[in-house]
Structure 1
Amino acid sequence: MDKFKNLTAFVNVVEANGFAAAARRLGRTRSSVNKSVMALEDELGVQLLNRTTRRVSATANGEAYYARAKIILQDIAEADRAIAENDDEPKGTLRLNAPLSFGALHLSKALSDFLAQYPGLKLELALTDHFVDPLDGGFDAVVRIGALNENPSLIDHPIVEMQRFLVASPEFLHEHGNIKSVNQLKSLPCLHYGSLGEGHVWRLLGKGQELNVPVNGVMCANNGEALQQAALCGLGVAMLPTFIVGPALQTGALVRVLPDYAPPPIHLMLLYPPSRHLSPKIRQLVAFLYDRFGEHPPWDLFN
């Protein structure tokens, strides 16, 4: 219990920016809160707080420890609440991180419906295109799109396999002619997902072959919606997931190029630390996302 008491004191000192404010929060004396934090520092063998006469702030070690300690305290509170309530109803705050385009185009609407099912639940959604470790970022879970997770410290729930296609505008094809061979991609302007300075090689599967095709990256961007806009303007051929280009394919604003070939599929998945495995929030979220996206993804309705 001393460890729990010390963790609670430390987290509250960081959040309240001082010992006196933390003591008021906890209903303890300032000296007892200070002793708890010092005991924690002695146990760990590192300094967690910078102390001056004017302010208290976390050290680099303290910031890292705070992020994990806060999650531990939240897990304990959630476990206590679940036992007390003896139900599977998600409550509290669900903290999620998700990719920018998928979050804006599909996930935000789905999560609105999820929240409507559980009035006791609140949502904090952060959208970023770089990978965020849920433990380091203070998230309950992260939604990610890509290769299946190989991080042993995280539980990976695949939701659905996602398709990617080569696409271009009818105007582009009218100007450059129909593309009949993979080799033609090498000389055509292409729109590449990634960073400037990266090699532009597209991996394609089709006709029993696996091909690595160097392409002429006339434009690079780290956002799929930006590449779709460039493709709609006739700038080049793009390799994009159907969750972005599905509507444009349905209306004919974009058309598939070399339909016998496609990049390897990618996966929509939910990643979370093992400590969240029994959380009602996570269990219900996994079931909801699979029900919403797993069998018949709405972005593939053009097929």
Structure 2
Amino acid sequence: MDRFTALQVFRHAAELNGFAEAGRRLGLSPAAVSKNIAELEAHVGTRLIHRTTRRMALTEEGRIYLEHVVRGLDALSEADETLSPLRKEPSGTLRVSAPMTVTLTQLSASIPRFLSRYPQITLDLHLDDRRVDLIREGFDLAIRGSDSLEDSSLIARKLTVMSHVLCAAPAYFEARGRPKSPSDLRSHECIRFSLSGHADVWEFHKDGRTERIPVSARYSVTSSLAVRDALREGFGLGLIPFPYVGGDLREGRLQCTLEDWSTVETTLYAVYPSRQHLAPKIHVFLDFLTEEFSRV
């Protein structure tokens, strides 16, 4: 039994005082109306309507039940009407989880422009490099960086691909020299971003060859911005996404090395629970992210 349909049939039959009238209103055959009423009576365990071939009338139990059914169906209708504006206009609170460094270096300056564009949206942005559980923690969307996105029930939209560079400060190269091949890194001071999927092994490719270098680091840290600070201070070499150090490289504070070798890339995704009935607030934020990362 479709209980919602059965309740609607019961209400219309009672209010219109007839099965045929209820069927016409709901687009159901007389047989379907009778079946729904019979199944509803079986469900509640009592007769709700006295009926003959000529007339019908509510039982005492039916009158009491009808009062509750009307209130319940009206409440559901009001709930739908309450959500109607949210389905049409981007509004409401949007909870987003995003990695700290990506957000601070490439996104946060544009957030006010997004909020100005959509004044009915309230943004609750959590900067956290850990991988949150969207459903359990109540997030509408998360930005994730990954070398390969794990299988899951989440929907993912690709935002951008960040290449990595191996770099250090000029002072470091003056003191320690430049590595001529990836294997030389074993004798260098390396700075390790410990949350990376390639934190323990740095991988390099050239002319069909691959070299994987185990990373032994005196300094491991969970922030790429902290890695960048250590690089600027000349502490060591770091493998870091290019967007985080692009300005430093252009202005000479940092320099790349082993540039004839390619290395890892990190793909950024926007992930969200479902493509169905996507709220306008999520839809416009996805478009905003796509626009911003394509600009970068």
**TM-score of the superposed pair, with normalisation by structure 1:** 0.66
**Residue 200 of structure 1: how far off its partner (Å):** 3.1
Change (3 A) 1:186 1:86: closer
**Residue 109 of structure 1: how far off its partner (Å):** 1.7
Gaps of 5+ in 2: 5-76
1:109 and 2:109 equivalent? Answer: yes
1:210 and 2:218 equivalent? Answer: no
Q: Which residue number corresponds to residue 152 of structure 1? A: 152
**Residue 170 of structure 1: how far off its partner (Å):** 0.5
**Residue 110 of structure 1: how far off its partner (Å):** 2.2
Change (3 A) 1:82 1:255: farther
1:133 and 2:148 equivalent? Answer: no
Q: Which shifted more, 155-164 or 213-222?
A: 213-222
**1:277–1:283: 8 Å Cα contact kept in structure 2?**
no
Matches within 5 A, 1:27-38: none
| Bigger CA radius of gyration | 2
Q: Which residue number corresponds to residue 266 of structure 1? A: 266
SS in 1 for 2:107: helix
Gaps of 5+ in 1: 4-75, 298-303
**2:107–2:292: 8 Å Cα contact kept in structure 1?**
no
SS in 2 for 1:230: helix
Q: Which residue number corresponds to residue 249 of structure 2? A: 249
Q: Which residue number corresponds to residue 94 of structure 1? A: 94
Matches within 5 A, 1:186-225: 186-194=186-194, 200-225=200-225
SS in 2 for 1:245: helix
Q: Which residue number corresponds to residue 118 of structure 1? A: 118
SS in 2 for 1:180: coil
**Residue 78 of structure 1: how far off its partner (Å):** 10
Task: For 1:269 and 1:77, locate their aligned partners in 2 and report how far apart those are by CA, in whole Å.
Answer: 37
Task: For 1:290 and 1:151, locate their aligned partners in 2 and report how far apart those are by CA, in whole Å.
Answer: 22
Change (3 A) 1:276 1:114: farther
Q: Which residue number corresponds to residue 15 of structure 2? A: none
Kindly tell me the number of residue pairs found equivalent between the two proteins.
221
**1:193–1:220: 8 Å Cα contact kept in structure 2?**
yes
**Residue 193 of structure 1: how far off its partner (Å):** 1.2
SS in 2 for 1:216: coil
Task: For 1:260 and 1:145, locate their aligned partners in 2 and report how far apart those are by CA, in whole Å.
Answer: 25
Q: What RMSD, in angstroms, separates the aligned Cα atoms of the two structures?
A: 2.8
Q: Which amino acid is 1:152 matched to?
A: S
Q: Which amino acid is 2:97 matched to?
A: N
**TM-score of the superposed pair, with normalisation by structure 2:** 0.68
Identity %, equivalent residues:
30
